[in-house]
C-alpha cells in the first residue's frame, strides 16, 4: 500500500501585461501548486482554475483539502486515481488535473523514466506553439509584435467590434501566420462568415470557437461554409460527444484544466483521431509547471498553444522549452522533466 500526502499552496502569478479576452481582463492569475509526497519522492503539479467553469483558487484548494491524501495498492494505475477523484466530487477539473499531473510526475520519478517515454509519445519535440495577444487597442499592437519576436506563430484574441482593425494593424507589421481565437465573440452566423472571409485573405490558419457554445445549428452551417479550420474550445470540456462536435468543428482544442487529467486528454485525442478531427492542445494562463504537462499532451497534437508561462513575469521552475523555430520540447528527465531554477 502506498500513501501519498497531498500538499497544496496558492500560486499567484503576476502577468507581464494586462490580459483581456471577450469575457474580461486580468493582471494576475491565482493558481494552485500541488505536491504529492511518497517514498521520499515529490511529484509536482499545478491547477489553473477557470471562472467560466465556476472554479476558483479557493474551490480548487477545497477539493484538494477534502481529498486529504491518496492511498492505493496500485500507484502506477492512474485510472484508479481518476476514478477516486470523480467519486470525491463532481467538477473541479483544474484541481483534478493538478493532482493527476503530480502523481504522474511521481510515477516517472519512481520509475526513473521521462513521461514522454513512459506514455510512448511520438518524440519529445512537438508542434510549434503560438504566442497569444490578448485584446488591446490596435495602436498597442506594435509593442506586442516586437515582444512576440522569438515566436513564429501568433494567436490573436478577437470578439470586439473592432476586430478588423486589430488584424489590419498587425498585418502592417508582420506576415506571421495567425491563429484567431474569438472566444464565442461572434454572435450571428452572418458576422462569423463575414469575419472568416476577411481573415481568409490575411494568412489566418485556424479559428478557435467563433460562436457561443450553445449555437450548435449555426456552427454546423459554419463548418460547411468555412474556408479556415474551426476548433472547438468552449464547446468542449471533455464530456461532450465527439461525434456531435465533429459536425460543428474541424478539430478540438484540448486543455488539461478542462479534461481534468493527462490520461483523459490522451484518450480523447485517440478517439477524436478516429473521427478525423484535428487536434490542438491549449492551456490556461498557467506557469511552466502546468504548461510542461500541457506540452507533454501536445506531443500528440497538430497545433500547440502552450504559451501561458511566457505571459508571466516569472516562473517557479524550468520545464518545457521553446526551440528557436518555435517547437515545444520537453526535457529528457524523469517524470514531467521539471527542474528547480
Ligand atoms: Mg480558446
CA of 233 to the centre of ligand 1 (A): 5
CA of 207 to the centre of ligand 1 (A): 9
CA of 81 to the centre of ligand 1 (A): 28
Q: If you average pLDDT over residues 198-217, what whole number do you get? A: 97
CA of 19 to the centre of ligand 1 (A): 13
* Cβ atoms of residues 152 and 326 within 8 Å: yes
pLDDT at 53 (0 to 100): 87
CA of 64 to the centre of ligand 1 (A): 26
Domain limits, the chain: 2-117, 121-340
- Best CA proximity match to 93, nearest among 132, 44, 53, 131: 53
Say which CATH architecture domain 2-117 belongs to. 2-Layer Sandwich (3.30)
CA of 6 to the centre of ligand 1 (A): 31
Average pLDDT, the chain: 96
Whether the predicted pLDDT of 22 surpasses 80: no
Q: What is the CATH number of domain 121-340?
A: 3.20.20.120
pLDDT at 258 (0 to 100): 95
Categorize the per-residue pLDDT at 21 as very low, low, confident or very high, splitting at 50, 70 and 90: confident
φ/ψ of 64, rounded to 5, equals -65, -35
Following DSSP, what letter does each residue of 95-151 receive, concatenated? HHHHHHHHHHHHHHHHHT-BHHHHTT-S-SEEEEBEEEE-S--GGGHHHHHHHTTT-
CA of 68 to the centre of ligand 1 (A): 33
Q: If you average pLDDT over residues 206-213, what whole number do you get? A: 98
pLDDT at 199 (0 to 100): 98
Choice between 138 and 224, residue whose per-residue pLDDT is larger: 224
Q: Where are the beta strands (DSSP E) in the chain?
A: 2-21, 24-38, 41-47, 69-72, 125-128, 130-133, 153-157, 178-181, 204-208, 230-232, 251-254, 278-281, 303-304, 317-318, 321-322, 327-329, 339-340
pLDDT at 237 (0 to 100): 82
Q: What is the pLDDT of residues 144-189, one digit of tens each?
A: 999 999 999 999 999 999 999 999 999 999 999 999 999 999 999 9
Categorize the per-residue pLDDT at 275 as very low, low, confident or very high, splitting at 50, 70 and 90: very high
Taking the C-alpha atoms of residue 326 and residue 287, their distance in angstroms, rounded to an integer, is 18
Q: If you average pLDDT over residues 259-264, what whole number do you get? A: 97
CA of 257 to the centre of ligand 1 (A): 12
Burial environment of residue 203 by CB neighbours within 10 A (0 to 12, 13 to 18, 19 or more): middle
pLDDT at 136 (0 to 100): 86
* Cβ atoms of residues 318 and 140 within 8 Å: no
Planar angle of CA 86, 4, 31, nearest 5 degrees: 65
Residue 37 three-state SS: strand
pLDDT at 11 (0 to 100): 98
* Cβ atoms of residues 213 and 188 within 8 Å: no
User: Do 121-340 and 2-117 have the same topology in CATH?
Assistant: no
User: How many beta carbons lie within 10 A of that of residue 90, not counting itself?
Assistant: 7
pLDDT at 137 (0 to 100): 87
Taking the C-alpha atoms of residue 187 and residue 206, their distance in angstroms, rounded to an integer, is 19
Taking the C-alpha atoms of residue 255 and residue 259, their distance in angstroms, rounded to an integer, is 6
pTM: 0.95
- Best CA proximity match to 4, nearest among 87, 119, 107, 113: 107
Taking the C-alpha atoms of residue 28 and residue 17, their distance in angstroms, rounded to an integer, is 9
CA of 60 to the centre of ligand 1 (A): 21
Taking the C-alpha atoms of residue 72 and residue 65, their distance in angstroms, rounded to an integer, is 18
Residue 57 three-state SS: helix
Taking the C-alpha atoms of residue 178 and residue 181, their distance in angstroms, rounded to an integer, is 10
Q: How many CA atoms lie within 13 A of 99 on its CB side?
A: 32
Burial environment of residue 213 by CB neighbours within 10 A (0 to 12, 13 to 18, 19 or more): middle
Q: If you average pLDDT over residues 55-66, what whole number do you get? A: 98
Q: What is the pLDDT of residues 299-330, one digit of tens each?
A: 999 999 999 999 999 999 999 999 999 999 99
CA of 304 to the centre of ligand 1 (A): 12
Q: What is the pLDDT of residues 112-151, one digit of tens each?
A: 999 999 999 999 999 999 999 888 888 888 899 999 999 9
Taking the C-alpha atoms of residue 268 and residue 70, their distance in angstroms, rounded to an integer, is 25
Per this entry, what is the length of the chain?
A: 341
Categorize the per-residue pLDDT at 93 as very low, low, confident or very high, splitting at 50, 70 and 90: very high
Amino acid at each position: 500500500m502506498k500513501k501519498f500526502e497531498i500538499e497544496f499552496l496558492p500560486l499567484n502569478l503576476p502577468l507581464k501585461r494586462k490580459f483581456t479576452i471577450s469575457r474580461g481582463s486580468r493582471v494576475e492569475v491565482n493558481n494552485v501548486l500541488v505536491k504529492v509526497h511518497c517514498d521520499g519522492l515529490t511529484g509536482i503539479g499545478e491547477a489553473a482554475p477557470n471562472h467560466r467553469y465556476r472554479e476558483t483558487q479557493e474551490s480548487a484548494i477545497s477539493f484538494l483539502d477534502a481529498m486529504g491524501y491518496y492511498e492505493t495498492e496500485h500507484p502506477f494505475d492512474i485510472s484508479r486515481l481518476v476514478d477516486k477523484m470523480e467519486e470525491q466530487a463532481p467538477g473541479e477539473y483544474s484541481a483534478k488535473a493538478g493532482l493527476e499531473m503530480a502523481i504522474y510526475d511521481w510515477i516517472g520519478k519512481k520509475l526513473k523514466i521521462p513521461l514522454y517515454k513512459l506514455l510512448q509519445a511520438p518524440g519529445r519535440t512537438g508542434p510549434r506553439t503560438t504566442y497569444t495577444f490578448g485584446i488591446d487597442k490596435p495602436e498597442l499592437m506594435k509593442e506586442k509584435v516586437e515582444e512576440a519576436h522569438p515566436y513564429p506563430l501568433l494567436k490573436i484574441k478577437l470578439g470586439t467590434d473592432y476586430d478588423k482593425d486589430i488584424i489590419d494593424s498587425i498585418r502592417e507589421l508582420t506576415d506571421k501566420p495567425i491563429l484567431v481565437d474569438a472566444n464565442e465573440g461572434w454572435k450571428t452566423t452572418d458576422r462569423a462568415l463575414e469575419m472568416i472571409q476577411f481573415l481568409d485573405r490575411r494568412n489566418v490558419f485556424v479559428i478557435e470557437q467563433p460562436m457561443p457554445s450553445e449555437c450548435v445549428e449555426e456552427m454546423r452551417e459554419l463548418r460547411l461554409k468555412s474556408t479556415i479550420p474551426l476548433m472547438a474550445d468552449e464547446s468542449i470540456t471533455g464530456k461532450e460527444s465527439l461525434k456531435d462536435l465533429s459536425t460543428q468543428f474541424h478539430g478540438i482544442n484540448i486543455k488539461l484544466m478542462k479534461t481534468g487529467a493527462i490520461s483523459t486528454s490522451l484518450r480523447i485525442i485517440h478517439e477524436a483521431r478516429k473521427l478525423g478531427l484535428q487536434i490542438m492542445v491549449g492551456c490556461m494562463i498557467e506557469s511552466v509547471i502546468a504548461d510542461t504537462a500541457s506540452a507533454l499532451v501536445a506531443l500528440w497534437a497538430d497545433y500547440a498553444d502552450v504559451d501561458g508561462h511566457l505571459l508571466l513575469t516569472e516562473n517557479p521552475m524550468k520545464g518545457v522549452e521553446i526551440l528557436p523555430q518555435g517547437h515545444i520540447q520537453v526535457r529528457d528527465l524523469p517524470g514531467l522533466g521539471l527542474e528547480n531554477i
